[in-house]
Amino acid sequence: MDVEELIESIIRAFMFLSGILGNNWLAIRSLPARKSGFRTNEVLFLNLAVSNLITNYLVDLPDTMADFAGRWFLGEIYCGIFRFCADLSETSSIYTTFFISVFWHQKLVGSLKRGGALVRMDSLILVGCLLAGSWTVAVVFSIPHFFFVTLVTGNDSHEDCIDVFPNALARQTYEVFYLTLANAVPLAGIVFASVQIVITLLENQRRIKSINSEASKEKSKDAMKVSENRNNAISASAGPSKDLTDSAAPNQIYAGLANEASANTGLSEYSNNNPPPKKEEDRKVGAPLTTSKPTQPPVKPSASSVSQVRAAKSVVAVASVFLVCWLTHLFLRITNNIQTSSLVVEIASYIAASYTCIIPYIFLHGVKKLNWSCKR
């Protein structure tokens, strides 16, 4: 094994270990708690982890072992299993990613626009039917690999496990249907759902900013009204109190005589415990200042909506990685149909392996399960 092949084998082994760790982690963290049952997101994440683990254990591991050995040594029987599992897990993973994108778009719209109302994909029966259909499609497209697979010996006497169809027409027909139904259709769905998620997030952010700006304007207006009312009340109370002080002197004689008479007769109309009612002027002077109603605080998203937004952003990140990986993968598959090349097939397998080892960590971060101490 030369240096170039050794580096490729080491990279392949690193991707394999990273995928094993991430997908097992995602599968374990997607299991429900003891008292609660499965939810839609947990079912989808678990199905995605299982799909990727098929690739990790039955495709990446044998391929890594063959790289280090320098040849395919597992025989022609496992060669058919190898090719079958490769397309099976690939198709299931693509469709599951599509379902996750649609689900979190529905949850985001339901949380931000409809107050957290239930969505269609909250039904486990519907999700189960969709996953069963995706596995059926994956099995149908993977079965031909049992019949059109063989070991080919290269110039260096090394055997490679490849697909050999009866003729070029059969190969092109299979590739057209496979790339259209198992790649292009879910890929278009993922792009559409991701674009809708981004639009919903931008509209919600714009709405929150406009509401907060209006609330701040109302708050400033109310503050100005309070200060004006306070100044008017102070100026109004200063005038009458001065007049009352000036007019109190001539009436002191009459007030003293009245108090003396009441003290002598003990027939005081009002005692200390029952003071006389205040005059209208006193009521006006001593009345508390009226203030306007407090303005509502700036709109802040609830905890549930924040978690929905975080998960939706992780879906957009996964969709971005998916587009980069699978558009390249599609291009290489189409190129290989035009002119067969072992190098193109090898690069396509690396692209597929990179996808399965990256997305588990993005989803774990998006649903706050990347840390073992997080509650399920």
Which among 86, 136, 144, 41 is positioned nearest to 367, based on CA atoms?
Answer: 41
In this prediction the pTM is 0.70
Q: What does the angle CA 263 – CA 266 – CA 272 come to, to the nearest 5 degrees?
A: 75
One-letter amino acid for residue 154 of the chain: G
Paired tokens of 26: 């995602």
Q: Using an 8 Å Cβ cutoff, are 216 and 298 in contact?
A: yes
The domains located in the chain, with CATH, are: 3-212+303-366 (1.20.1070.10)
Distance, in Å, from the CA atom of 9 to the CA atom of 63, rounded to the nearest integer, reads 9
Query: What one-character DSSP code corresponds to residue 181?
Result: I
- Count CB neighbours of 177 within 10 A: 12
- Which helix (H) or strand (E) is 162 found in, with range? strand 159-163
Using CA of residue 180, residue 186, residue 189, residue 190, what is the dihedral sign?
A: negative
Q: How far apart are CA 108 and CA 116, in angstroms?
A: 8
Q: Bridge partners of 162?
A: 150
pLDDT tens, N- to C-terminus, the chain (376 residues): 567 677 777 888 888 899 899 999 999 988 887 666 788 888 999 999 999 999 889 988 888 888 777 777 787 788 888 889 988 998 999 999 999 989 988 888 776 666 666 788 889 999 999 999 999 999 999 998 888 887 777 655 567 777 788 888 888 888 889 888 988 898 889 889 888 888 888 887 788 777 877 777 777 777 777 777 777 777 766 555 444 444 444 444 344 444 444 444 444 444 444 555 544 444 444 444 444 444 445 545 555 567 667 777 777 887 788 777 777 766 776 776 666 666 666 676 677 677 788 888 888 887 766 655 444 4
